[in-house]
């Protein structure tokens, strides 16, 4: 499979540069903050509309797969993040070291996990439910993990007002979207090609606001080439470790071959679409632009590596199917 940069990641880079060199400042930044909050609320409303309760309950029958995905996303990854943060704190600026941990606390992706599972000829339904469940529980688990692991750092705010902000901006829109499904599901499905672009537009908006705040706080004076290379190396190590753990876990619990693909991709991925909006609510420091860089780099790495991996697995599955057909 030919490797190429994801156009969306190129757009992210462009928006990051725009926010750095042409940022919104002063009162305009306050207005942009309100726009971002409204956009994120609408995003989670749409998530609620898209997730069918009936499909979720049906897919939960493969409980071993889903428990394994959740264990990777919210247990193994945070533990690896703590180790990585401890290892990088002596050599990285505080915002980047915190970002290394933060990237391990967000939910798995949905779109890319499902797409790669399909390419690898794995259990696509299991990937849909597993990734959706990861995102659904992540609305509560990611803030909880951030609070437990970073509340004492001064960089995150987990107070009554923060909890209320999370509820109003994330949980309430999500619940309203779920409750509105009888009225809105058909419309959202019909307009899916357009609304899927809204997902990415929201991420770009969050990134632009983050880098505008970073430029105003002059956070880039703390970053050098060596620090950037360390972050890339750490992200690569985290991805390699996650992929290896997923393979070992799938064998240990004796998952069916078709279920190992969704575990591999859902268990090793981290979501920009869900992660950035959540972190924008929780992260109180001016270093937010620095803190989201590791997540952005990890996202690019997971797309490139898993695109190659899924293609290889798919070709092997096709070869196996062809051999079985000849034997029959």
In-domain check, residue 224: yes
- What are the φ/ψ torsions at residue 283 (nearest 5 degrees)? -85, 115
Are 213 and 29 spatial neighbours (Cβ–Cβ below 8 Å)?
yes
In-domain check, residue 86: yes
- CATH classification of the domain holding 185: 1.20.1530.20
Q: What is the predicted pLDDT for the residue at 285?
A: 61
Are 65 and 263 spatial neighbours (Cβ–Cβ below 8 Å)?
yes
What does pLDDT average to in each consecutive run of 10 residues of the chain (328 residues)?
A: 61 82 86 85 80 62 89 96 94 86 89 79 81 81 86 55 64 83 89 77 78 73 83 95 97 91 94 77 70 83 82 82 60
Taken in order 39, 10, 220, 99, the sign of the CA dihedral is: positive
In-domain check, residue 324: no
Rounding to the nearest 10 degrees, give the CA dihedral for residues 310, 315, 318, 319: -140
In-domain check, residue 143: yes
In-domain check, residue 326: no
Are 283 and 147 spatial neighbours (Cβ–Cβ below 8 Å)?
no
In-domain check, residue 323: no
In-domain check, residue 327: no
DSSP string, 113-133: HHHHHHHTT--HHHHHHHHHH
User: pLDDT tens digit string along 277-293?
Assistant: 777 777 766 667 778 88
Are 20 and 220 spatial neighbours (Cβ–Cβ below 8 Å)?
yes
- What is the C-alpha to C-alpha distance for residues 67 and 83, in angstroms, rounded to an integer? 23
Are 177 and 49 spatial neighbours (Cβ–Cβ below 8 Å)?
yes
Domain count, the chain: 1
Q: What is the predicted pLDDT for the residue at 1?
A: 46
Q: Which domain holds residue 143?
A: 7-318
In-domain check, residue 2: no
């Amino acid at each position: 499979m030919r490797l190429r940069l994801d156009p969306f990641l190129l757009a992210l880079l462009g928006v990051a540069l725009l926010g750095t060199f042409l940022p919104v400042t002063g009162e305009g930044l306050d207005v942009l903050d309100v726009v971002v909050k409204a956009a994120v609320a609408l995003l989670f409303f749409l998530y609620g509309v898209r997730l069918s309760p009936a499909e979720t309950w049906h897919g939960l029958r493969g409980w071993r797969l889903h428990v394994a995905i959740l264990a990777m996303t919210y247990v193994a990854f945070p533990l690896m993040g703590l180790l990585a943060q401890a290892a990088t704190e002596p050599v990285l600026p505080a915002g980047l070291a915190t970002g290394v941990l933060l990237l391990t606390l967000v939910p798995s992706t949905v779109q890319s996990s499902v797409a790669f599972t399909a390419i690898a000829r794995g259990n696509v339904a299991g990937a849909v439910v597993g990734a959706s469940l990861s995102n659904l529980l992540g609305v509560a688990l990611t803030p909880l993990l951030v609070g437990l692991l970073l509340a004492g750092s001064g960089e995150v705010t987990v107070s009554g007002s923060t909890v209320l902000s999370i509820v109003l901006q994330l949980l309430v829109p999500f619940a309203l979207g779920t409750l509105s499904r009888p009225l809105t599901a058909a419309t959202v499905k019909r307009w899916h090609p357009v609304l899927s672009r809204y997902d990415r537009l929201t991420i770009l908006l969050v990134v632009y606001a983050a880098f505008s705040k970073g430029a105003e706080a002059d956070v880039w004076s703390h970053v050098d080439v060596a620090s950037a290379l360390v972050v890339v190396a750490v992200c690569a190590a985290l991805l390699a470790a996650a992929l290896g753990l997923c393979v070992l876990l799938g064998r240990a619990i004796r998952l069916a071959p078709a279920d190992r693909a969704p575990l591999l991709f859902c268990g090793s991925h981290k979501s920009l679409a869900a992660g950035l909006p959540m972190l924008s609510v929780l992260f109180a420091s001016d270093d937010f632009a620095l803190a989201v860089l590791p997540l952005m780099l990890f996202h690019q790495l997971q797309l490139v590596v898993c695109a190659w991996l899924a293609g290889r697995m798919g070709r092997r599955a096709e070869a196996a199917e062809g051999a079985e057909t000849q034997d029959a």
